[in-house]
């Protein structure tokens, strides 16, 4: 028995397996493994029914201090002093406030300086740390994998499960390594890398897998870029996406409000340095990507896998081998109001949205501002910038980014999920076409009948100014 | 949770791939804080005209509203059903509408998990088998399937049958309608032991308490 154990211990393991093994509380025969959850992020939309479930069964929140709540999905992005006009949204926010008070859960409420999109504030406050298991009732929880944590979205029943037990029964997913060789060209961002990967493997290409992103191009990404990449893992169907922590990670975490300090920091650092896949660790699937072959991408259809380079054309229907995919493409083009073979750069936009848990961080805003500087939004376009958090909003204002945006004719708004999913008043009108830095171009996602094209922040800013998609690699920066 | 053992019902075909949860239940209905009553908003944007508010008019041309599929309780659809958002409201809407089974060649992970927690059975079959069920449900009036979770098989009594698989624990929970929070709490000693070894980091504990106090 001991010898067998020793053998297991010495077997090379992937980063995912190391985190998984460290969090198995129990592995009952014939049942799923019981995984301990280090951090549970909560927001107003997917939690009220879970708290009701606790009340109905006389249960408490087992670890209120491993639970952190904020409001992001349905809140308006107009000035914070104004009342919420939507009575149902206001009631949902009030429910979260009451639940947090009743169960002793820390809440970063609407008027707090820490408020922001749940996947933005976790990292920025140093709550998200390497090696953790993190869940949230939101599919984009995969964002936190950028820190080398195992982070995944769950449904409301599972939210209740974690509130009550701080654990989740889980079947072990398979592992996939996405190895990105070479370097991204100027103007090609983490968003384009994510879209390029999804375009290649499809929106179900990673279903059942946890992805580990590796390779030079991934190592070269900032934490903001890594978060963008991991954020979009779910759009390939992955359970989670993660990146081994390194000096870039540690430098980002160091000194953040909730991060370990002093001796605790030294200890944490020593343990985080072991968080890498061992040489010889086996992945169930390996995919290689040539970074240099990637371009700025624009989606043309109604899922993130329907994507081409900005200098390409809307695909011909004959290019789809499978009948189901061809029909889906046909329906998507009808919904999007596009013709096969049309150059992407000829597509005019009505709206531009820069924001969301994918692309609303300071680096995203800096890159968009660099494009917008000294320019003006096309008179036919309404463009919004929605910072991911109050902290980002203030940081951007300190750097003067808001002035660049406002002078160029962009709206500068309060933080929240906003037009990524249009649960608040920020929505597209039927038929409106939007260049969006968000993560989903599903039918009606940004408003019924709205047409969403996913792009990077630079590409979105350029589209706002040009009035149509344009290749950022040819942009004349001012 | 409602147990699932055997079910026989009318099959309705949704002949599309990558049906995402934004289509199953659009976002404007996620602001409700109840767990019930989502059925009338199922596939809202595909079924109702209007401005997307609760007061839309049924167009009548969506497959779910065709008289021949009235009372359907088994939905069959293309690959990657339930992709996108984690919203459990999608499963609540399907179940509240009257669905007990969804058949597809693949499901998104979170959707499949959510279904399991609500007694909605997700059955994975091959692309060919799904295509055959879709074909039959379009051609044969009042087309029904019997789905048996104990035997892990389904048949239509007219020559089509298929075996399916499901992990043993999930099947056990569904068959018995088990509250899995209760099952986890049976491991109280192990959870407590784990927590004793892994306390909440002190920076987190101290600072979070200041937030609670304000």
Give the nearest partner residue to A155 out of B88, B198, B201, using CB atoms: B88
Q: Which pLDDT tens digit goes with each residue over A233-288?
A: 999 999 999 999 999 999 999 999 999 999 999 999 999 999 999 999 999 999 99
Q: What percent of chain A has pLDDT over 90?
A: 96
Kindly report the three-state secondary structure assignment for every residue of chain A. Answer: CHHHHHHHHHCCCCHHHHHHHHHEEECCCCCCEEEECCEEEECCCCCHHHHHHHHHCCCCCCCHHHEEEECCCCCCCCCCCCCCCCHHHHHHHHHHHHHHHHHCCCEECCCCCCCECHHHHHHHCCCCCCCCEEEECCHHHHHHHHHCCEEEECCHHHHHHHHHHCEEEECCCEEEEEEEECCCCCCCCHHHHHHHHHHHHCCCCCCCEEEEEECHHHHCCCHHHHHHHHHHHHHHCCCEEECCCCHHHHHHHCCCCCCCCHHHHHHHHHHHCCCCCCCCCCCCEEEEEEHHHCCCEEECCCCCCCEEECCCECCCHHHCCCHHHHHHHHHHHHHHCCCCCCEHHHCECCEEEECCCCCCCHHHHHHHHHHHCCCCCCCCCEEEECCCEHHHHHHHHHHCHHHHHHHHCCEECCCCCHHHCCCCCCCCCCCCEEEECCCCCCCCCCCCCCEEEECCHHHHHHHHHHCECCCHHHCCCC
Q: Which pLDDT tens digit goes with each residue over B90-129?
A: 999 999 999 999 999 999 999 999 999 999 999 999 999 9
Q: What is the C-alpha R_g of chain B? A: 20
Residues A32 and A171: beta-carbon distance below 8 Å: yes
Burial group, residue B76, by CB count within 10 angstroms (0-12, 13-18, 19+) = buried
Q: Mutate which of A28, A72, A155 to disrupt the B interface (most B C-beta within 10 Å)?
A: A155
User: What's the pLDDT score for residue A207?
Assistant: 97
CB contact under 8 Å between A324 and B78, yes or no, is: yes
CB contact under 8 Å between B80 and A207, yes or no, is: yes
CB contact under 8 Å between A156 and B88, yes or no, is: yes
Q: Which residues in chain A have their CB less than 8 angstroms from residue B88's CB?
A: 46, 49, 137, 155-157
User: What's the pLDDT score for residue B56?
Assistant: 77
Q: Which pLDDT tens digit goes with each residue over A333-360?
A: 999 999 999 999 999 999 999 999 999 9
Mean pLDDT for B170-180 is 91
CB contact under 8 Å between A328 and B18, yes or no, is: yes
pLDDT band at B204 (very low <50, low <70, confident <90, very high): confident
Q: Which residue of A has its CA nearest to B77?
A: A324
Is B17 in CB contact (< 8 Å) with chain A? yes
Query: Residue B84 is encoded by which pair of tokens?
Result: 């996108």
The DSSP letter of residue B83 is B
Cα dihedral sign, A146-A150-A151-A153: positive
Residues A103 and A61: beta-carbon distance below 8 Å: yes
User: What's the pLDDT score for residue B52?
Assistant: 56
Query: What mean pLDDT, rounded, does chain B reach?
Result: 94
Query: What mean pLDDT, rounded, does chain A reach?
Result: 96
Q: How far apart are CA A198 and CA A196, in angstroms?
A: 6
Mean pLDDT for A433-440 is 98
Give the nearest partner residue to B80 out of A52, A203, A442, using CB atoms: A203
Specify the pTM: 0.97
User: What's the pLDDT score for residue B53?
Assistant: 60
Give the nearest partner residue to A106 out of B17, B88, B211, using CB atoms: B211
Residues of B (34-63) whose Cβ lies below 8 Å from A: 34-35, 45, 51-52
User: What's the pLDDT score for residue A208?
Assistant: 97
- Is residue B51 scored above 80 in pLDDT? no
Which is more confidently placed, B205 or A149?
Answer: A149
Mean pLDDT for B45-53 is 79
Q: Which residue of B has its CA nearest to A446?
A: B27
- Is residue A10 scored above 90 in pLDDT? no
- Is residue A219 scored above 90 in pLDDT? yes
């Amino acid at each position: 028995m001991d010898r067998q154990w020793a053998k297991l211990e010495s077997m090379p393991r992937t980063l995912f397996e190391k985190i998984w093994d460290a969090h198995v509380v129990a592995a009952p025969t014939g049942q799923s493994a019981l995984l301990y959850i280090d951090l549970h992020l909560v927001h107003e939309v997917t939690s009220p029914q879970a708290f009701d479930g606790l009340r109905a069964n006389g249960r408490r929140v087992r670890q209120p201090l491993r639970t952190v709540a904020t409001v992001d999905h349905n809140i308006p992005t107009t000035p914070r002093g104004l009342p919420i006009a939507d009575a149902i949204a206001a009631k949902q926010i009030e429910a979260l406030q009451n639940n947090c008070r009743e169960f002793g859960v820390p809440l970063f409420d609407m008027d707090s300086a820490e408020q922001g999109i749940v996947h933005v504030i976790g990292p920025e406050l140093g709550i998200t740390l390497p090696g953790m298991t993190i869940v949230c009732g939101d599919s984009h929880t995969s964002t936190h994998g950028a820190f080398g944590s195992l982070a995944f979205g769950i449904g409301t029943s599972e939210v209740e499960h974690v509130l009550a037990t701080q654990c989740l029964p889980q079947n072990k997913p398979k592992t996939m390594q996405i190895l990105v060789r070479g370097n991204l060209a100027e103007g090609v961002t983490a968003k384009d890398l994510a879209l390029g990967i999804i375009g290649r493997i499809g929106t179900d290409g990673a279903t059942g897998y946890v992805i580990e992103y590796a390779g030079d191009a991934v190592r070269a990404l900032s934490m903001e870029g890594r978060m963008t990449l991991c954020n979009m893992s779910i759009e390939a169907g992955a359970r989670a996406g993660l990146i081994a922590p390194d000096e870039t990670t540690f430098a980002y975490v160091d000194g953040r409000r909730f991060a370990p300090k002093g001796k605790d920091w030294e200890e944490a650092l020593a343990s985080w340095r072991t968080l890498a896949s061992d040489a010889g660790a086996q992945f169930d699937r390996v995919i290689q990507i040539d970074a240099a072959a990637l371009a700025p991408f624009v989606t043309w259809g109604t899922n993130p896998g329907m994507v081409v380079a900005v200098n390409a054309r809307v695909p011909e229907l004959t290019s789809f081998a499978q009948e189901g995919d061809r029909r889906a493409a046909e329906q998507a083009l009808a919904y999007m109001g596009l013709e096969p073979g049309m150059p992407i750069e000829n597509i005019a936009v009505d709206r531009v949205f820069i924001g969301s848990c994918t692309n609303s961080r300071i680096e995203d805003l800096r890159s968009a501002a660099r494009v917008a500087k000294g320019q003006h939004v096309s008179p036919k376009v309404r463009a919004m910038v929605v910072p991911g958090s109050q902290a980002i909003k203030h940081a951007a204002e300190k750097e003067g980014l808001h002035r660049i945006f406002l002078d160029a004719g962009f709206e500068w708004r309060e933080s929240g999920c906003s037009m990524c999913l249009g649960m608040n008043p920020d929505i597209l009108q039927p038929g409106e076409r939007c260049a969006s830095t968000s993560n989903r171009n599903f039918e009606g996602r940004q408003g019924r009948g709205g047409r969403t094209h996913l792009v990077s922040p630079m590409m979105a800013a350029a589209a706002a100014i040009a009035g149509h998609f344009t290749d950022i690699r040819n942009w004349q920066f001012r | 949770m409602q147990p699932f053992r055997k079910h026989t019902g009318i099959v309705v075909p949704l002949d599309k791939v990558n049906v995402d949860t934004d289509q199953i239940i659009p976002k404007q209905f996620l602001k409700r804080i109840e767990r019930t009553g989502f059925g009338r908003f199922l596939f809202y944007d595909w079924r109702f005209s209007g401005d997307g508010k609760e007061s839309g008019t049924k167009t009548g041309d969506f497959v779910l509203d065709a008289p021949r599929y009235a009372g359907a309780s088994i939905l069959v659809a293309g690959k990657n059903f339930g992709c996108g958002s984690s919203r459990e409201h999608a499963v609540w809407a399907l179940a509240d509408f009257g669905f007990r089974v969804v058949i597809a060649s693949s499901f998104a992970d979170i959707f499949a998990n959510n279904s399991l927690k609500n007694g909605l059975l997700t059955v994975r079959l091959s692309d060919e088998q799904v295509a055959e069920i879709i074909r039959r449900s379009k051609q044969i009036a009042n087309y029904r399937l019997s789905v048996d979770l104990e035997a892990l098989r389904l048949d239509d009594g007219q020559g089509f049958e298929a075996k399916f698989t499901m992990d043993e624990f999930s099947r056990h929970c569904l068959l018995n309608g088990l509250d899995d929070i209760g099952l986890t709490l049976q491991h109280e000693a192990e959870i407590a032991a784990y927590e004793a070894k892994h306390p909440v980091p002190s920076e987190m504990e101290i600072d979070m308490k200041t937030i609670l106090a304000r």
